[in-house]
C-alpha cells in the first residue's frame, strides 16, 4: 500500500461514476455557466467574462467539485496531473467548488495536489440538502439532465472559445478519455 500513488489510494475506497464526453448546443447552458463566483481573494466575478475579455484557451475545462465527495477527490488528482501535462499546450482548468467548506477544500488542495489548480468558490459553501436547488450549479446539472443527487464531479469543456458547442461529462472522465480528447483538440 505504501507504493501506491495518491490517485490509487483514493480510488481504492470508493465506487466510480464514469461518464462519456457529450456535446451540448444550448445557449442557456452558456448563460448559466457565466455566473458569479468568488475568487480565493474574495473578488466576485462572472466566470466566463474573464475569458470573453482576454480570449479563451484552445481548451478550457470547467470542473465542479465538492471537498466531501470521494469521486471529486479522485478526479481532482487526475485533473491536476492532466493540467500539469497540458498546461503549456494552451489548456486551462478552472475548478468551481460547490457545497463545500472553504477551509476543508483548501486543506484538500494543499495536502493532496502536487500543483495548484485555479479554483473559485460557487454559491454555496455548505452541504445543504434544501438550498442546493437554488444554485446555478443545480440549474446547470438539471439542464444537462444529470440525475445524480449532487451532480459532482461535473465537467464542461469549451473548445476554442466556441460557446455554442460545449462538451460535458456528468461524472468522472473515462480512463484516458480526457487525455486522448486533449491530444486531438490541442493538435499534439
Q: Answer yes or no: are the C-beta atoms of 62 and 97 closer than 8 Å.
A: no
Which domain covers residue 27, as residue numbers?
1-62+103-159
Helix (H, G, I), strand (E, B) or coil at 161: coil
* pLDDT of the residue at 1: 46
Q: Would you say residue 170 lies in a domain?
A: no
Q: Would you say residue 166 lies in a domain?
A: no
Among the listed residues 150, 158, 164, 144, the one whose alpha carbon sits nearest the alpha carbon of residue 67: 150
The C-alpha atoms of residue 174 and residue 21 are separated, in whole angstroms, by: 9
How far are the Cα atoms of 74, 96, 120, 146, 158 from residue 42, in angstroms, in the given order?
27, 14, 9, 30, 25
* pLDDT of the residue at 184: 93
Q: Answer yes or no: are the C-beta atoms of 74 and 16 closer than 8 Å.
A: yes
The C-alpha atoms of residue 184 and residue 182 are separated, in whole angstroms, by: 5
Q: Would you say residue 168 lies in a domain?
A: no
Q: Would you say residue 20 lies in a domain?
A: yes
Q: Would you say residue 26 lies in a domain?
A: yes
With both helix axes pointing from N to C terminus, report the angle between 70-86 and 102-112 in degrees, rounded to the nearest 10.
Answer: 50
What number of other Cβ atoms are within 10 A of residue 15's Cβ? 6
Q: Would you say residue 5 lies in a domain?
A: yes
Q: How large is the average pLDDT for residues 120-134?
A: 92
* pLDDT of the residue at 5: 55
How much is the pTM?
Answer: 0.90
Q: Would you say residue 12 lies in a domain?
A: yes
Among the listed residues 18, 37, 79, 86, the one whose alpha carbon sits nearest the alpha carbon of residue 57: 86
Count: domains in the chain: 1
Which of 58-67, 75-84, 118-127 is the most confident on average? Answer: 58-67
Confidence class of residue 9 from pLDDT cuts 50, 70 and 90?
low
* pLDDT of the residue at 115: 67
Q: Would you say residue 109 lies in a domain?
A: yes
Per-residue pLDDT reduced to its tens digit, 11-37: 556 688 899 999 999 999 999 999 999
pLDDT > 80? residue 188:
no
Strand 18-19 to 22-24 pairing? unpaired
Looking at the DSSP bridge assignments, the partners of residue 22 are 168
* pLDDT of the residue at 62: 98
Per-residue pLDDT reduced to its tens digit, 72-120: 988 998 999 999 999 999 999 999 999 998 888 888 877 777 667 889 9
Helix (H, G, I), strand (E, B) or coil at 42: coil
Q: How would DSSP label each residue in 99-124? A: SS-HHHHHHHHHHH-SSPPEEEE-S-
Amino acid at each position: 500500500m505504501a507504493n501506491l500513488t495518491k490517485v490509487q489510494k483514493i480510488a481504492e475506497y470508493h465506487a466510480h461514476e464514469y461518464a462519456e464526453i457529450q456535446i451540448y448546443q444550448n445557449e442557456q447552458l452558456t448563460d448559466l455557466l457565466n455566473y458569479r463566483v468568488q475568487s480565493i481573494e474574495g473578488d466576485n466575478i462572472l466566470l466566463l467574462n474573464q475569458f470573453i475579455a482576454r480570449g479563451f484557451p484552445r481548451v478550457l475545462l470547467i470542473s465542479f467539485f465538492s471537498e466531501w465527495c470521494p469521486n471529486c477527490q479522485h478526479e481532482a488528482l487526475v485533473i491536476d496531473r492532466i493540467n500539469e501535462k497540458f498546461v503549456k499546450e494552451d489548456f486551462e482548468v478552472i475548478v468551481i467548488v460547490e457545497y463545500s467548506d472553504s477551509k476543508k477544500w483548501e486543506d484538500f488542495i494543499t495536502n493532496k495536489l502536487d500543483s495548484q489548480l485555479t479554483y473559485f468558490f460557487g454559491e454555496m459553501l455548505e452541504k445543504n440538502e434544501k438550498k442546493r436547488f437554488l444554485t446555478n450549479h443545480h440549474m446547470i446539472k438539471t439542464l444537462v439532465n444529470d440525475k445524480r443527487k449532487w451532480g459532482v464531479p461535473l465537467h464542461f469543456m469549451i473548445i476554442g472559445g466556441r460557446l455554442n458547442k460545449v462538451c460535458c461529462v456528468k461524472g468522472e472522465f473515462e480512463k484516458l478519455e480526457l487525455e486522448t480528447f486533449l491530444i486531438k483538440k490541442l493538435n499534439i
